[in-house]
Amino acid sequence: MTDSRSSHGGTAASRAMHRALRQAAVMIGLGLVVEMSTLWWAHATAFLVFALVGVALVLGGVTRYLLALLAWPGSPSAGT
């Protein structure tokens, strides 16, 4: 089922959105894998890897997703 938003943005915008979602998903997925793997590593370095790699990837992915939403032609902010 589709709503009116997809038709507003056109095919190019939809493709860009799909690409952004995939990129965000990959970044967040990798970040979560890194975060979880550090939970089995009993060393002070694990916290650094968790914070500097895992959290950074997750936050990067979330930011990618939010920026894509803002740029999407179907979104209220992009339409004004």
Partner 1 sequence: MLTESPFEAGVLGLFVAITIALILLVALRPRMIESTGGRAVIFVALLVLPVLVTALGTSAHLEYATSTTFCLSCHVMEPYGESLLIDSGEHVPAVHVQNALTPRDHACFACHTSYTMFGDLQAKLRGLRHVWVNYLGEVPEKIALYEPYQNRECLSCHRDARSFAENEMHVELEAELDSGETSCLDCHEQIHDVEHLDSLPKWREAAP
Per-position b or e across 57-70, b if 16+ CB within 10 A of its CB: bbebbeebbeebbe
Which tokens is 19 given? Answer: 């690409």
CB 65, min distance to partner 1, A: 4
* Cα separations in angstroms, 65 against 25, 30, 44: 8, 15, 31
Residues binding partner 1 (CB under 8 A): 1-3, 5-6, 14, 17-19, 21-22, 24-26, 28-29, 31-33, 35-36, 38-40, 42-48, 50-51, 54-55, 58, 61-62, 65-66
Q: How far is the CB of 36 from partner 1 (least distance, A)?
A: 6
Smallest gap from residue 16 Cβ to partner 1 (A): 11
